[in-house]
Structure formats: C-alpha cells, structure tokens
A and B are shown apart, each in its own frame.
Chain A
Amino acid sequence: DGGITQSPKYLFRKEGQNVTLSCEQNLNHDAMYWYRQDPGQGLRLIYYSQIVNDFQKGDIAEGYSVSREKKESFPLTVTSAQKNPTAFYLCASSSNRGHTDTQYFGPGTRLTVL
C-alpha cells in the first residue's frame, strides 16, 4: 500500500532535549512538507522540500531543522531552541508535477514537552 508514515505517534520530551520526528513516503512524490497544528489555529508550514538535497524555510522554521537526503524521507528535528514545541506535527507530500498538486498527509506525531 502506498502512503505516508510518521513515527512515533506520541512523543514525550524533556525541556532542553532535541528530538527527531520521522516521515517516510512510498508514493514517489517529489515534494514533502512539515506542518505544525495547534488548537484553534490553521496549519502552519515549518519547512518544505521540492527535490532531494534541497529544502526551504516555511513561516515558522525557527527552532527546527530538516534534511532531505533521500526522496522517500524528510525527518524533522525539533531543537531545544524551539520555545513552545508541544503540538501536533503533520508531514505531507505531493507529486509536484504541477504546482497545485494535492498534498497528502501522514497520521501525525503528537509531541509533548514535559
């Protein structure tokens, strides 16, 4: 089955620790995205990548880092510099053959900082 997987589903972290969220897709999509979702707010773009070995900052990139070494994988690291990291993190991908291609989402990772 083709799809997007994120792991883990729930993640707990102590303040001051870095943590990496996994995102893998087997849809052969070129573009991948990381969003953050907070209660009462729309999804906010953290980082996106349109091709391997290239990525761009979104609206709220501060305190986060990414890599895109493989087409299938786009891990997100939440660093200790992120002031309020507790949120629901969503990874998405699109084929990017046309700019307006639909984004498809993984199941999400809920991060809680203790």
Chain B
Amino acid sequence: GQNIDQPTEMTATEGAIVQINCTYQTSGFNGLFWYQQHAGEAPTFLSYNVLDGLEEKGRFSSFLSRSKGYSYLLLKELQMKDSASYLCAVMDSNYQLIWGAGTKLIIKP
C-alpha cells in the first residue's frame, strides 16, 4: 500500500530552526509537495520537489532524496505565525496526491 509518515506534533521556540521530516512509500513518484494549514483553514502551497536536493524559498527550505523516500521541510527564524500543521503529499504514478496526516508545529515564545 501507499504510505506517508510524518511526526504528529513538534514544538520549537520562536527564533529557532525546526526540521519536519516526511518519509514515503508510493507506487511511483511524480513529485513531493509541502503545504501549510492553519487550524480551520485551507492548506496553502509551500514547495514542490521532484529532483533530489534542497530548494530554498525565504525562511523555508525543502529537501528531497528519492532513493531514500525522504523529504524534510526546514523552517528558519521561527515566528509565532508559523504555528500550524504542515502537510506532506506525494504525487504517485497516476498523478494523484497521497497525503500524510500532517505535523502540528507549536511555537513557544
């Protein structure tokens, strides 16, 4: 079966750096997406990786290793507004998104 694993919850301090991991086992791979979702709101797109390596976008970076079935989202200079759930999703061989359950990130002052 297809599976996406992420930690359920993480806690970090304002101003610090946090890394949210995602491992996947899917039938085929056509890219990995990260979304941010604040409580009760819609997911918003953060990043897309299809090749191995690091993609940097401001305070957020996303890394992919296809051989290891592994990705991480790196958040730097954490702000209180970064408190949210972070969703990892993989596009499989049928171009359907398979979603992880999300990682709830709690930022403390």
Binding site for B on A (CB under 8 A): 40-45, 58, 90, 99-100, 102-108, 110
Contact = CB atoms under 8 A, between A and B. Distances in A.
Contact of A100 (B42, B43, B44, B95): B95
A106 B91 CA distance: 20
Given A99-B30, A102-B48, A90 B42 contact: yes
Majority secondary structure of chain B interface residues (helix, strand, loop or mixed): loop
Contact of A99 (B41, B95, B98, B99): B95
Contacts of A45: 96-97
B30 A105 contact: no
B36 to A, nearest CB: 11
A18 B24 CA distance: 37
A1 to B, nearest CB: 15
B18 interface: no
A111 B50 CA distance: 35
Contacts, number: 48
Nearest to A9: B40
B60 to A, nearest CB: 15
A108 B37 CA distance: 12
Interface of B: 4, 8, 30-31, 33, 40-45, 48, 50, 87, 89, 91, 95-102
Majority secondary structure of chain A interface residues (helix, strand, loop or mixed): loop
Contacts of A107: 41-42
A83 B99 CA distance: 23
9 contacts: A43-B97, A43-B99, A44-B99, A99-B30, A100-B91, A102-B48, A103-B97, A108-B41, A110-B40
Contacts of A105: 42-44
A102 B45 contact: yes
Contacts of B95: 99-100
Nearest to A58: B96
Contact of B43 (A58, A90, A99, A110): A90
Contacts of B48: 100, 102
A42 B41 contact: no
A57 B103 CA distance: 28
